[in-house]
Amino acid sequence: MSELTDLYQEVVLDHGKRPRNYGPLPGETQRAEGLNPLCGDHLLIHVRQAGGRVEEIRFEGSGCAISKASASVMTGVVKGRTAAEIDQLFERFHRLVTEGARPEDQEALGKLAVFAGVHDYPTRVKCASLAWHALREALRGGGAPVSTE
Amino acid sequence: MTTHALEQPQAPARPAARREPAVEAYDVERIRAEFPILSQRIHGHPLVYLDNAATTQKPRAVIDAVRRYYEEDNANVHRGVHLLSERATRAYEGARVKVARFLGAADPREVIFVRGTTEGINLVAQTFGRQRVGAGDEVLVTALEHHSNIVPWQLLCQEKGATLRVVPITDAGDLDLDALDALLGPRTRLLAVAQVSNALGTVNPVAELVARAHARGVTVLVDGAQGAPHLGFDVQASGADFYAFSGHKLYGPTGIGVLWGRRELLEAMPPWQGGGDMILSVTFEKTTFNDLPYKLEAGTPHISGAVGLGAALDWVAGVGLEAVAAHERALVARAVDALGQVPGIRLVGTPRERAGALSFLLGDVHPHDVGTVLDRQGVAVRAGHHCAQPLMKRYGVAATVRASFAAYNTAAEIEALVRGLHKVREVFG
């Protein structure tokens, strides 16, 4: 049986409590909302794109430790990437939180690897994915709220 | 084709267990032994099931009744000339009589089987509501309601150009009765109110609400989803016009519930869904509708569900609803005290009278995280908005943790909850 500390690793707890890149983003070019109807989590992702890459990204909102930590870590790792690169990274991330860690993905995932424990908690996969769904919606230029349902 | 199994309605006797206090001591261990699911371990810990407001577990008697029905009596109801159909019909209609007795209804024909509380409320909104609510009229709900007692009325009001108005609550989580009086106006057509709040556990003074509404000529629907399991309901003493509850929150199967309505109201309502069983005769020019209750039960009903619900009501009557209620009251009081000892706990809502459930927050830890840590200790609670987002907004929170109790919960399980909450504090420092 997995331990609670596999899910709530120190890094996750730290990002959940003191999220990085938190707040509004002056000069944003895109934004999208993420809603998790299961628990009422609500994130707003602000993006400033330049030259086809994410130049700056911030987020706001309320949520559980997992959704906030995921948004916080995500905003750190996607800077400088294109939408296509972010889609690829999300695919690996989604595999990580649904199936667990795979050696071949570790390098690409980098800091995101701290969410490996989520796969033992199927009800929390949506929390970990919420920020990603909102970001990808923002990059598609949608702006409509995305829901995990 | 349709046999009228209810042509001779029986005047139901009230079960003795409801009138007399339990004389025997409440033997919770014996009760637990009747629930097969409770003996398992979850993540290596004994299961502590405190999510009863979502659904209750089922006693052996209910599981067996459903199995026996399928193994011995299964057939379609109201149409076969063969013995199995007769037995199935008797079992299904027998369950209706048990429900009528549970509710103190004058006539089993006032008992309509539906999928659950939600369907019962939607049925009233789309029949009575469509008939009686017009442009400029008002429908009253309260700030305590579950989404299922808000959204059907919102849809109706949108369709009709009517207005949905909301009876506010106090900070403690009790209805503001002065505000109710002010809101009951000449255009108010219906008051839809929960008997017990699913999120806070508030017990509403239903008879008082009905009296105030009736004084203004306003029809009252009571959502009994959380009330029926803990308090039962007496449709005659309360004076209510409609009452809906769900079988699965009352130790019965999922997918079966009840809408009770006063006969003259049900008679005046148009049919809801069209199909078999709800008609007397059909030509392509005209259909003559069946009598109550069949007019409102189109299609083959959930026969095994009704049988299971009947068994659940028998089970509750056997233990004694008063005895269960007293046991649950003691548990809720104990839980309020025990949680008060945990640093950082804040109860959401402190109503004058509470049944079955309590909501709380632990420091700034998100309820979802509290729920996950508790689950790993074997403690099942609900974490979320409890399908009552307007109520969450009223308290300025996105979600709460809810512990809710049933006949089989114990004081030791409250201790397990408290230990689990200390573990949450440890993880989140």
Give the mutation candidate from B348, B369, B401, B423 for the A interface (greatest A CB count, under 10 A): B369
Q: Domains (ranges, CATH) in chain A?
A: 4-140 (3.90.1010.10)
Report chain A's mean pLDDT, rounded to a whole number: 92
- pLDDT, residue B229, reads 98
Check CB contact of A22 with chain B, cutoff 8 Å. no
Q: How confident is the model at residue B12 (pLDDT cuts 50, 70, 90)?
A: very low
Q: pLDDT tens digits for B338-391? A: 999 999 999 999 999 999 999 999 999 999 999 999 999 999 999 999 999 999
| Minimum-distance CB partner of B427 among A1, A8, A64 | A8
Q: B24: pLDDT confidence band, cut at 50, 70 and 90?
A: low
Which B residues in the span 236-255 are in contact with A, Cβ-Cβ below 8 Å? none
Is the per-residue pLDDT at B227 higher than 50? yes
Check A65 against B428: CB less than 8 A apart: yes
Q: Which CATH architecture has domain B45-54+320-428?
A: Alpha-Beta Complex (3.90)
How many whole angstroms separate alpha carbon B345 and alpha carbon B357?
16
Read off the pLDDT band of B284 (50, 70, 90). Answer: confident
- pLDDT tens-digit readout, A62-99: 999 999 999 999 999 999 999 999 999 999 999 999 99
> For the residues of A101-126, what is the DSSP string, one character each?
--GGGHHHHGGGGGGGGGGG-GGGHH
Between the CA of residue B330 and those of B57, B84, B205, B354, what are the distances in Å?
A: 20, 45, 20, 11
Q: What percent of chain A has pLDDT over 70?
A: 93
Start-end of CATH 3.90.1150.10 domains in chain B: 45-54+320-428
B:342-381 residues touching chain A, CB 8 A cutoff: 365-369, 372-373, 376
Q: What per-residue confidence (pLDDT) applies to B16?
A: 45
pLDDT digits (tens, 9 = 90+) for B109-167: 999 999 999 999 999 999 999 999 999 999 999 999 999 999 999 999 999 999 999 99
Where would I find the H helices in B320-395? 321-340, 367-376, 389-394
Q: B395 CA to chain A: closest CA distance, Å?
A: 14
Band (B278; pLDDT cuts 50, 70, 90): confident
pLDDT at B164: 98
Q: What is the pLDDT of residue A37?
A: 78
Q: What is the Cα–Cα distance from B166 to B34, expressed in whole angstroms?
A: 42
pLDDT digits (tens, 9 = 90+) for B315-334: 999 999 999 999 999 999 99
Rounded to the nearest angstrom, the minimum Cα separation between A9 and chain B is 10
Residues of chain A contacting residue B369, judged by C-beta atoms under 8 Å apart: 8, 64-66
Instruction: Please report residues of A whose CB lies closer than 8 A to that of B372.
Output: 4, 7, 121, 123-124
Q: Which residue of A has its CA nearest to B369?
A: A64
What's the pLDDT tens digit per position in A12-38?
A: 999 999 999 999 999 999 999 999 877
- Residue pair B313/B250 in contact (Cβ under 8 Å)? The answer is yes
CB-CB under 8 Å, B398 with A42: yes
Residue ranges, comma separated, of all CATH 3.40.640.10 domains in chain B are: 67-317
Least confident of B79-93, B102-116, B305-319: B79-93
Contact B369 A40 (CB under 8 A): no
Q: Is A121 on the interface with B (CB under 8 A)?
A: yes
Are A28 and A106 a contacting pair, CB within 8 Å? no
How confident is the model over B60-74, as pLDDT tens digits?
999 999 999 999 999
> How close does chain A come to B146, measured CA to CA in Å?
15
Judged by DSSP in three states, B182 sits in: helix
Q: Name the residue among B43, B369, B399 with its Cβ closest to that of A1.
A: B43
Taking the Cβ of residue A64 and every Cβ of chain B, the question of whether any pair is shorter than 8 Å is answered with yes
The C-alpha angle with vertex B257 and arms to B253 and B263, in degrees rounded to 5, equals 150
Scan for tokens 């949520």, then name that residue: A63
pLDDT interval class at B1 (50, 70, 90): very low
Q: Which of A2, A38, A62, A64 to mutate to test the interface with B (most CBs of B within 10 A)?
A: A64
Whether residue B409 contacts residue B50, with contact meaning beta carbons closer than 8 Å, is answered with yes
Q: Give the pLDDT band (50/70/90) at residue B8.
A: very low
Q: Which residues contact B16 (CB under 8 A, 6 or more apart)?
A: none
pLDDT of residue B281: 87
CATH code for residues B67-317: 3.40.640.10
What is the structure's pLDDT at A41?
Answer: 85
Q: What is the mean pLDDT of chain B?
A: 94
* ipTM of predicted complex: 0.89
Residues A98-134: tens digit of each pLDDT: 999 999 999 999 999 999 999 999 999 999 999 999 9
Of A4, A8, A40, the CB nearest to B384: A40
Residues of B in contact with A115 (CB under 8 A): none
- What are the residue numbers of the active site of B? 387
Mean pLDDT of B154-183: 98
Tell me the pTM: 0.91
The pLDDT of residue B429: 83
Which positions ≥6 away from B319 have C-beta within 8 Å? B17, B31, B407
For residue B5, pLDDT beyond 60 = no
Q: Tell me the average pLDDT across B93-97.
A: 98
- Minimum distance, in Å, between the CA of residue A84 and any CA atom of chain B: 32
User: Nearest-CA distance from B387 to chain A in Å?
Assistant: 9
Assign B20 a pLDDT band (cuts: 50, 70, 90).
very low
